[in-house]
Chains A and B, each alone.
Chain A
Amino acid sequence: MTEAVLFTLFSVAAVLFAFNVVFRKNAVHCALHLVGVLLSLSGMFVLLNAQFIAAIQILVYAGAIMVLFLFVVMLLNVKGEVPLLTPGAAKGFGFFFALLGFVELLWIVLSSNGGGEGAPRPAAVLPAGFGSPAEIGRILYSTWLFPFEVTSILLLIAVIGAVVLAKRKFL
């Protein structure tokens, strides 16, 4: 019962915030509404037994990535006539194709309901410690060790790239 209430609350909040992200004029307001989406999603992750991912979402996404976004928005301080939406017919095409995409996703979701022939059987009960940091650590450092190490190199490349791109003098 509480779960249904929380789920409704979080999903309605996420969708409302998402609408505001896309349709507001002021870029800072858009960024703040995106933070709202991230926090609502974090709540939904807790409902889905993904506590570690929920905490990481707040720490990394809402707490660091969005602060970076806000910094850039505030420092660029774009004022002036950036039109809100694409002028002309392209706007209609954009909405139409997005609607098409949504109908397609809806059809997939409602028809397959979580699996085709190759999908694993839905579990009857979740294993103990599902979603806890201990479990994540166990799997991350055994099965998924190689992607983990590659990700660390990727982040190093991103740091170097960002510093080089944003420098004033040619490096």
Chain B
Amino acid sequence: MDLAFLIESAVKVLIVLGFVLLGVPLIVWMERKVIGHMQDRIGPQRVGPFGLLQTIADGIKLFFKEDLIPASADRAVFIIAPALPVITAFLALAVIPFGDTVRVAGRDVPLQVTDVNIAILWILGTTSMGVYGIVLGGWASNSKYPLLGGLRSSAQMISYELAQGISLVSVILMTGTLSLAAIVRQQETMWFILPQFFAFVIYILCGIAETNRAPFDLAEAETELVAGFHTEFSSMKFALYFLAEYANMMVVSGIAISVWFGGWHGPFLPPVVWFLIKLSLFLFFYVWLRATFPRLRYDQLMAFGWKVLLPASLLNLAVTAVVLTLASTR
């Protein structure tokens, strides 16, 4: 492990960190503007040109709020809980390839913090660890509504993890490798969206449920259960949960892009630009869903996950396996 490798890894980590920390305010601004225009109003427009500094202003406001810890709350868990979803989101972002290998200072640097050969398993593992932030946040508040919201939200997340994993497995059957960089490279001629369209639909629905976004956001919406698991969190802890939600959105979009939409492949522009374009389109799609659909009730949500998505993903897996076997024996 020589010094050049360490420096390269440190720079990549800092770039990813900076990208997320700077990108989240932009995504929040885009969300508020887009939802505003879809609802026939303008959205933030006073703070900075086109309201661009609105999120910064909100961040400063959150920073100066009083950081309350309820007296009967479990202190240690209360303080650690908001950090967990952020940590798992960043860990998952570490294996997503942002671009092709570039040549910097005489070394071939892959634009991915690290390329493990079990990248898909790693991502599934870190997203299942993300449940802890929610369930511990709900518990540590020692209060009725957060506990109910936390338990509901974590039950929702672990239910949708299954269909998510199985839809990814259908693609793995085609690629034969678990490494995300290799999967992206295999999509030079044809993106996997064409043969595995249904797996993509299932994955993106599960991804929206995993990140607790509308229309699956019953457990944390402000009008339900008094804001759910993050009721008692204020100031920076709330900001961390907020950051974690958008970082998780980036993770889900990043995986969908890398596995189904060709990753950084694209005609004229540099690969990183293509990845960013696709990422923006996915995030716009997330926001569009939030503006358009009403919320699902909790039992509708659980029924959808267990009775519709899971059998559908299993069926997709079975059909993929049969087709691949027939194609290989021909």
B:164-206 near A, CB below 8 Å: 178
What class of interface size applies to chain A in its complex with B? 20 to 34
Q: Which of B124, B158, B178 sits near A133, CB closer than 8 Å?
A: B178
> Which residue among A52, A63, A67 has the maximum number of chain B CB atoms within 10 Å of its CB?
A63
Residues of A contacting B154 with CB < 8 Å?
Answer: 67, 71
Chain B residue numbers with a CB within 8 Å of A86 are none
Of the candidates A58, A63, A74, which one forms a contact with B151 in the assembled complex, judged by CB atoms under 8 Å apart?
A: A74
| Distance, CA A2 to CA B122, complexed state (A) | 22
A11 in contact (CB, < 8 A): no
Within 1-32 of B, Cβ neighbours of A (below 8 Å) are at: 1
Best-buried of B76, B118, B135, B178 by chain A (most CB within 10 Å): B118
A18 CB-CB contact with B under 8 Å? no
Nearest Cβ on chain B to A13's Cβ, whole angstroms: 16
Nearest CB of chain A from residue B44's CB, rounded to whole Å = 38
B114 within 8 Å of A (CB atoms): no
Q: Which A10-57 residues have a C-beta within 8 angstroms of B?
A: 26, 28-29, 32, 35, 51-52, 55-56
Per-residue contact bits, chain B 116-128, to A (CB 8 Å; 1 contact, 0 not): 1110011011101
Q: Does A153 contact B (CB under 8 A)?
A: no
Within 8 Å CB of B122, what residues of A?
55
Partner of B129, one of A28, A52, A62, A75: A62
Residues on B with C-beta less than 8 A from A35 are 132
The answer to whether B135 touches A67, judged by C-beta atoms less than 8 angstroms apart, is yes
| Residues of chain A lying within 8 A (CB to CB) of residue B117 | 51, 132
CB-CB under 8 A for A55 and B125, given A32-B77, A133-B118, A133-B178: yes
C-alpha gap A149/B217 in the complex (Å): 38
Query: Given the complex of chains A and B, what is the CA–CA distance between A58 and B150 in angstroms?
Result: 21
- A28-B77, A28-B139, A67-B158 given as contacts; is B128 within 8 A of A59 (CB)? yes
Given B1, B121, B139, which contacts A59 in the complex, CB threshold below 8 Å?
B121
**At the interface, yes or no: B86 with Cβ under 8 Å from chain A?**
no
A27→B39 CA distance, assembly (Å): 47
Interchain CB contact under 8 A, A58 and B118: no
Q: Besides the contacts A59-B125, A74-B135, what 20 more A-B pairs have beta carbons closer than 8 Å? A: A26-B74, A28-B74, A28-B139, A29-B76, A32-B136, A51-B116, A51-B117, A51-B118, A55-B121, A58-B128, A62-B128, A63-B131, A67-B128, A67-B132, A70-B135, A71-B151, A74-B139, A74-B147, A133-B118, A133-B178
Can you list 6 pairs linking A and B with CB atoms under 8 Å apart?
A26-B74, A32-B77, A52-B121, A62-B128, A67-B135, A71-B151
Chain A to chain B: the 5 pairs with minimum beta-carbon distance, closest first: A63-B128, A58-B125, A55-B121, A59-B125, A55-B118
